[in-house]
Amino acid sequence: MEAKRFAGKVAIVTASTQGIGFGIAERLGLEGAAVVISSRKQKNVDEAVEKLRAKGIEALGLVCHVSNKEQRKNLIERTVQKYGKIDVLVSNAAANPTANGILETSESVLDKLWDINVKVGILILQEAAPHLSKGSSVVLISSIAGYHPHASMAMYGVTKTALLGLTKGLAAELAPDTRVNCVAPGFVPTHFAESLTRDEGIKKELESKTLLNRLGTTQDMAAAVAFLASDDASYMTGETLVVAGGMPSRL
């Protein structure tokens, strides 16, 4: 990676020991950032940190279940204690515990979807905001499902729609010192999307919905996040970048 757009920068990426989150952390680290990664299990954190350090990336790994207030607070405090600031915050944590329709979804599942996919991103940013450097960047991870909620993941899609509005609201609130943007990934064959992409028939159907006739990769998503978080996007805030191979989203 020749570009070093994040040299001297500190980046936190939530839910980042595998999949899209890990890809983002790796990309930011390869471009010079000190990266702080987290997930619910210590074993996963340790393994991810080892992989990053093997590539010469400065990495700190912490256990953080994003719904746990003390662990969220610890994530921010430990980052600031070690590095003194936060330049990039990527809110990537998400849950999709149901394949039911919206009207069939229980209240407890509705609460979990809202809490993990929307509310905790706000709560982490409340903790982090006092430590964001001037010129810092926040990136929220939404989904193509936020534009067209799929029948089997409709309520998940609705929570991702909420992130599009949250991006606008936070961008206005944190301007001019911090930019806030959003990435809406298409379908990426990660563990999180395994229920869809492991079925060859469904996978082919999803590929056919793209103009590029392929699913996305974690590197595709990481590249988009790195762009938005970097000074290359210094005149962009409140925007959502759809990275979905041409799947329908908006005019």
- Is there a domain that residue 152 lies in? yes
Instruction: Give residue 201's pLDDT.
Output: 82
* 209 Rama class: left (phi>0) / alpha (psi -120 to 50) / beta: alpha
User: Does 128 map to a domain?
Assistant: yes
Domain for residue 213, yes or no? no
pTM of the model: 0.95
pLDDT over 70 (residue 251): no
Q: What is the mean pLDDT of the chain?
A: 94
Cβ atoms within 10 A of the Cβ of 89, count? 29
Give every strand in the sheet of 132-141, ordered side by side.
59-63, 34-39, 10-13, 86-91, 132-141, 178-185, 240-243
**Average of pLDDT values for 14-18?**
97
Percent of the chain with pLDDT over 70: 96
pLDDT at 194: 64
Catalytic residues: 156
Give pLDDT, residue 151.
Answer: 80
State residue 191's pLDDT score.
72
Q: Total domain count for the chain?
A: 1
Q: Report yes or no on 211 lying in a domain.
A: no
Q: Which one-letter amino acid corresponds to residue 95?
A: A
pLDDT band at 123 (very low <50, low <70, confident <90, very high): very high
In a domain, 209, yes or no: no
Quick check: bond before 176 cis, omega within 30?
A: yes
Q: Which residues span the domain enclosing 97?
A: 10-188+219-243
Which pLDDT band holds residue 1 (cuts at 50, 70, 90)?
A: low
Which CATH number characterizes residue 69's domain? 3.40.50.720
Distance from C-alpha of 128 to C-alpha of 11, rounded to nearest angstrom: 11
- State which amino acid sits at residue 65: H
Q: Quick: pLDDT tens for 186-242.
A: 999 877 666 666 778 888 888 999 999 999 999 999 999 999 999 999 999 999 999
pLDDT digits (tens, 9 = 90+) for 158-191: 999 999 999 999 999 999 999 999 999 999 987 7
> Does residue 106 form part of some domain?
yes
The predicted structure's pLDDT at residue 152: 78
Report if residue 60 sits inside a domain. Answer: yes
The alpha-helical segments, DSSP class H, found in 31-180 are 42-54, 69-83, 107-114, 120-128, 154-174
**β strands within the chain, DSSP E:** 10-13, 34-39, 59-63, 86-91, 132-141, 178-185, 240-243
For 81-108, how does the pLDDT look when each residue is reduced to its tens digit (9 = 90+)?
Answer: 999 999 999 999 999 988 889 999 999 9
Give mean pLDDT, residues 64-77. Answer: 97
pLDDT band at 55 (very low <50, low <70, confident <90, very high): very high
Asked if residue 198 is part of any domain, the answer here is no
Q: Could you give the CA distance from residue 93 to residue 116 in angstroms, rounded to a whole number? A: 7
Res 212: pLDDT: 96
Among 197, 231, 239, smallest CA distance to 217 is for 197
Provide the β-strand partners of residue 8: none
Residue 60 has pLDDT above 70, yes or no: yes
Question: Residue 161: its pLDDT value, please?
Answer: 97
Question: In the prediction, which pLDDT does 153 show?
Answer: 85
